[in-house]
C-alpha cells in the first residue's frame, strides 16, 4: 500500500506542472463539447500510461547504459523543445478559435501520441525519475508503484478536462492565448535545462 500511495503521489506531482500534454487537454476541453473532450482525455491517458510503463521498465536502463544515445537525446530534445516553445510563444489570438467544425479523432490521436512519445522532455524526465524509483523499490513491489502512477494519470487528466469544461465560459480566446504563451515559456525553460545537461555531460 505504501508503494501504491508513493506512485500515486509521484504521478500527480509529475503530471501536474504545465506541459504539452496538459496544454493539449486544456485546449481540447475549451474548444470541444465535454463528451468529446473526455474521449480525447482517455486517448492522452493511454499514451501517457504506455510511456510511463516503458520508462519504468526499459527506456531509463537503455539511456543509462548508452552514454552517446543519452547525449543525442539531450541535444536533439533541447532543440525540439525550443522549437515547440517558440511556436507557442508566437501564437496569435486569431488562431485560438473553436475547432468544433473540423475536429477529427485521427488528428487527436496523432497529437496525443506526439505530445507524449515525441516529447523528449517527457521521455528523458520520465526515464530518469522512474528509473530512479525503480532501483529504490523491491522488484516484486514495483507493480504497485506503477499502478499508483497510472491511476494518478487517469484522475488528473479526467479531472482537468471536467474542471476546464465546467468553467470554459470564463476562458475566452485571449485566455487560451495566454495559456499557450505561458506554456511556451515553461517549455523553453525546459529546453534550457536540457541543453545545460547536455553541456555538463560532454
**Which residues constitute the domain of residue 51?**
2-201
DSSP 3-state helix, strand, coil percentages of the chain (rounded to 5)?
Answer: 90, 0, 10
**Cα within 13 Å of Cα(166), Cβ side:** 6
pTM of the model: 0.68
DSSP 118: T
Q: Which residues contact 7 (CB under 8 A, 6 or more apart)?
A: 133, 144, 145, 146, 147, 148, 149, 152
Query: Residue 123 has which C-alpha cell?
Result: 521521455
Out of 22-31, 76-85, 88-97, pick the least confident.
88-97
Residue-level pLDDT at 75 = 79
Between these two residues, 188 and 109, which has the higher pLDDT value?
Answer: 109
For the chain, how many structural domains are there in total? 1
When pLDDT is cut at 50, 70 and 90, the band that residue 98 belongs to is very low
Give the separation between CA 148 and CA 136, rounded to whole angstroms.
Answer: 16
Give the mean model confidence (pLDDT) for residues 161-177: 78
The count of other CB atoms within 10 Å of the CB of residue 34 is 14
Q: Residue range 38-62: average pLDDT?
A: 86
Amino acid at each position: 500500500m505504501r508503494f501504491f500511495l508513493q506512485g500515486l503521489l509521484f504521478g500527480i506531482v509529475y503530471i501536474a506542472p504545465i506541459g504539452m500534454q496538459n496544454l493539449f487537454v486544456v485546449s481540447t476541453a475549451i474548444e470541444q463539447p465535454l463528451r468529446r473532450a473526455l474521449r480525447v482525455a482517455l486517448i492522452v491517458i493511454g499514451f501517457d500510461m504506455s510511456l510511463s510503463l516503458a520508462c519504468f521498465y526499459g527506456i531509463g536502463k537503455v539511456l543509462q547504459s548508452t552514454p552517446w544515445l543519452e547525449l543525442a537525446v539531450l541535444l536533439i530534445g533541447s532543440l525540439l523543445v525550443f522549437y515547440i516553445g517558440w511556436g507557442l510563444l508566437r501564437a496569435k489570438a486569431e488562431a485560438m478559435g473553436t475547432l468544433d467544425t473540423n475536429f477529427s479523432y485521427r488528428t487527436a490521436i496523432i497529437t496525443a501520441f506526439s505530445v507524449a512519445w515525441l516529447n523528449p522532455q517527457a521521455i528523458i524526465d520520465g526515464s530518469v525519475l522512474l528509473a530512479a524509483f525503480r532501483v529504490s523499490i523491491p522488484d516484486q513491489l514495483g507493480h504497485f508503484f506503477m499502478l499508483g502512477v497510472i491511476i494518478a494519470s487517469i484522475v488528473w487528466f479526467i479531472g482537468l478536462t471536467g474542471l476546464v469544461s465546467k468553467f470554459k465560459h470564463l476562458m475566452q480566446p485571449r485566455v487560451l492565448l495566454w495559456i499557450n504563451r505561458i506554456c511556451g515559456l515553461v517549455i523553453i525553460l525546459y529546453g534550457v535545462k536540457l541543453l545545460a545537461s547536455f553541456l555538463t555531460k560532454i
